[in-house]
């Protein structure tokens, strides 16, 4: 495997969505990873925003690691242009491998799969299973309603401000990714995630 400066796990939709800003954001994220000598870790599909971020990373010179369950290979059209394509048996195995192979996580616009992955890795951080930075790219206000609800949960006493502090929210891909990579360098951890999740 070639040396890479960092490895970022990107969660995002397997559909393109209706807003061109989503595709622009996925492209910008992929280009940033590639330009900075990084590695993309993602769900292994070639459709929608998933395919966009993978292709943008590849074109910009970055490495692409895709991890996809066998049951989704046909449904999500597995991306055989990945530098590494891992076909696993379960979603749990997929998410554990994605987490292990990454120095940081960022969620872009997506559906319930993206939300589930974001909340799971956020929960793992809250529980101390890892201390890898987590980012949320709020493209064109996509996550505004969710962030409002989370603040409502804090106000209602069911979440703490410290939990909100475990994720970094941004609207500009370059600034957010730069901060996440810097945070990852400061919080480097050798916790074997698969043993605790």
Q: Among 14, 84, 93, 5, which Cα is nearest to 49's?
A: 14
pLDDT at 185 over 90: no
pLDDT at 189 over 60: no
Cut 0.85: pTM above it: yes
pLDDT in tens, 102-112: 999 999 999 99
pLDDT in tens, 64-111: 999 999 988 877 689 989 999 999 999 999 999 999 999 999 999 999
* Mean pLDDT across 10-39: 97
pLDDT at 191 over 60: no
- Alpha-carbon 31 to chain mean position: 15
- pLDDT classification of 1: cutoffs 50, 70, 90: very low
pLDDT in tens, 154-178: 999 999 999 999 999 999 999 999 9
User: Which uninterrupted H or E stretch holds 16?
Assistant: none
Query: Can you tell me the distance from the alpha carbon of 87 to that of 78, in angstroms, rounded to the nearest whole number?
Result: 9
Query: Can you tell me the distance from the alpha carbon of 196 to that of 182, in angstroms, rounded to the nearest whole number?
Result: 25
Q: Which positions ≥6 away from 131 have C-beta within 8 Å?
A: 125, 187, 189, 191
């Amino acid at each position: 495997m070639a040396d890479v400066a960092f490895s970022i796990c990107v969660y995002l939709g397997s559909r393109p969505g209706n807003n061109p800003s989503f595709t622009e954001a996925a492209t910008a994220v992929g280009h940033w990873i590639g330009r900075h000598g990084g590695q993309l870790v993602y769900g292994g599909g070639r459709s929608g925003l998933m395919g966009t971020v993978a292709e943008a990373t590849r074109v910009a010179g970055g490495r692409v690691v895709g991890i996809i369950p066998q049951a989704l290979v046909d449904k999500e059209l597995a991306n055989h242009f990945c530098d590494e394509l891992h076909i696993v048996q379960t979603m749990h195995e997929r998410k554990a491998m994605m987490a292990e192979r990454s120095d940081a996580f960022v969620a872009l616009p997506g559906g319930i799969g993206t939300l589930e992955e974001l909340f799971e890795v956020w929960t793992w951080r809250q529980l101390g299973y890892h201390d890898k930075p987590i980012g949320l790219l709020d493209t064109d206000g996509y996550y505004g309603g969710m962030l409002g609800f989370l603040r409502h949960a804090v106000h209602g006493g069911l979440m703490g401000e410290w939990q909100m502090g475990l994720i970094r929210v941004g609207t500009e891909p370059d600034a957010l990714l730069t901060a996440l990579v810097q945070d990852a360098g400061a919080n480097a951890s050798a916790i074997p995630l698969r043993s605790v999740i």
